[in-house]
């Protein structure tokens, strides 16, 4: 038996995005990257050169990464894309195109329009074109996004480096607040579910600040790098395992600083000789740098941490 619906939300969602001007070369389920036409064909075509292309993929799923009662549809769309942009930026690449696969639950026409307008807004703000994807109906709201980025001068920033011994590990932060804000907000939401508002306390959780411009300017001084999505402790353990080295901590950090996920600050390693140059870049971009420790052939850092998404 078929259930009669007042409107086709999938078609309405796509039509709204088309009207907002963020679609380029959209077909049915596929897009031909080789022949993708843009207003700046030569410049954008370079993105499709395999030697300078970075591809990132991430999901943002209701009940796993967020709850509808916590965030507005605008906040959900904004954060879903920022999370993906952060992955690409942390590799020293600039996001250019995106594929979106979205599952739409029962929504009103006004809600579908709000969601589409929010996606268009964040894409326009960062100069992104949606070039395809898929829409389905489902029980929960789910956004699965593939982002294509262009490497800056083809200088890919990896998570591995053979010359990491003795290097210093540091992370970016705002001048006024350290890591831990996202964990604090999440703890509050789990205890007392409520709709978040845009204030200084919850801003990092709703709309994290990305450090793309700093990464681009400081790339030549970085040995490895990644964004802090699963928590500082989790990322450090990943780097230790990947590079077969241990980290000797310089300072004692608050447990919230170690455990807080979804911070999206930049975590990177550098040689001591680059310290002054990095401090100058940090000052220029109005951020602070925190040295965590140095890599060496020692026991791995012993910090208890929770898996951010279970």
Domain boundaries, the chain: 9-151, 167-296
Q: Residue 34: left if φ>0, alpha if ψ -120 to 50, beta else—which one?
A: alpha
**Band (172; pLDDT cuts 50, 70, 90):** very high
CB-CB contact of 22 with 123 (8 Å): yes
Most confidently modeled range among 194-208, 228-242, 246-260: 228-242
Whole-angstrom distance, CA of residue 30 vs CA of residue 28: 6
Which stretch of 22-26, 70-74, 157-161, 234-238 has the lowest confidence by average pLDDT?
22-26
- Kind and range of the H or E run holding 251: none
Above 90 in pLDDT, residue 251?
Answer: no
**pLDDT of amino acid 1:** 39
Same fold, 9-151 and 167-296: no
Q: If DSSP codes are grouped into helix, strand and coil, which group holds residue 291?
A: strand
pLDDT at position 17 is: 67
In degrees and rounded to multiples of 5, residue 100 shows phi and psi of -125, 120
pTM of the model: 0.84
For the CA atoms of 231, 97, 117, 38, the dihedral, rounded to the nearest 10 degrees, stands at 160
Give the distance from CA 276 to its chain's centroid.
Answer: 28
| Mean pLDDT value of segment 31-44 | 49
**Cα–Cα distance, 23 to 25 (Å, whole number):** 7
* CATH numeric code, 9-151: 3.30.1330.10
- Which pairs with CB-CB distance under 8 Å and at least 24 residues apart come from 184-190? 184/256, 184/260, 186/262, 189/67, 189/70
pLDDT band at residue 7 using 50, 70 and 90 as cut-offs: low
> What CATH class is the domain 167-296?
alpha beta
Beta carbons of 66 and 98 less than 8 angstroms apart: no
Q: Give the separation between CA 301 and CA 303, rounded to whole angstroms.
A: 6
**What's the confidence (pLDDT) of residue 67?**
92
């Amino acid at each position: 038996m078929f259930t009669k619906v007042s409107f086709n939300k999938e078609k309405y969602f796509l039509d709204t995005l088309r009207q907002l001007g963020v679609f380029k070369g959209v077909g049915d389920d596929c897009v031909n990257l080789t022949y993708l036409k843009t207003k700046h064909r030569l410049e954008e075509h370079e993105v499709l050169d395999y030697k300078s292309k970075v591809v990132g993929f991430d999901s943002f799923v209701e009940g796993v990464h967020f709850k509808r009662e916590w965030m507005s549809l605008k906040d959900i769309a904004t954060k879903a894309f920022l999370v993906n942009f952060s992955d690409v930026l942390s590799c020293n690449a600039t996001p250019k195109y995106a594929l979106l696969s979205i599952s739409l639950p029962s929504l009103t026409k006004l809600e579908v329009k709000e969601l589409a307008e929010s996606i268009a807004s964040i894409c326009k703000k960062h100069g992104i074109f949606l070039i395809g994807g898929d829409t389905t109906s489902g029980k929960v709201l789910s956004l699965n996004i593939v982002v294509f980025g262009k490497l800056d001068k083809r200088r890919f920033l990896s998570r591995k480096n053979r010359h990491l011994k003795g290097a210093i590990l540091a992370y970016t932060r705002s001048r006024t607040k350290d890591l831990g804000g996202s964990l604090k907000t999440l703890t509050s939401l789990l205890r007392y579910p409520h709709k978040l508002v845009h204030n200084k306390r919850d801003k990092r959780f709703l709309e994290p600040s990305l450090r793309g411009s700093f990464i681009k300017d400081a790339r030549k001084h970085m040995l490895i790098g990644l964004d802090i999505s699963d928590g500082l402790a989790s990322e450090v353990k990943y780097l230790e395992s990947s590079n077969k080295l241990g980290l000797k901590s310089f300072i004692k950090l608050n447990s919230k600083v170690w455990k807080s996920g979804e911070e999206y600050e930049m975590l990177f390693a550098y040689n001591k000789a680059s310290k002054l140059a990095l401090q100058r870049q940090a000052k220029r971009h109005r951020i602070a740098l925190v040295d965590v420790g140095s890599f060496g052939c020692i026991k791995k850092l012993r910090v208890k941490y929770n898996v951010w998404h279970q």
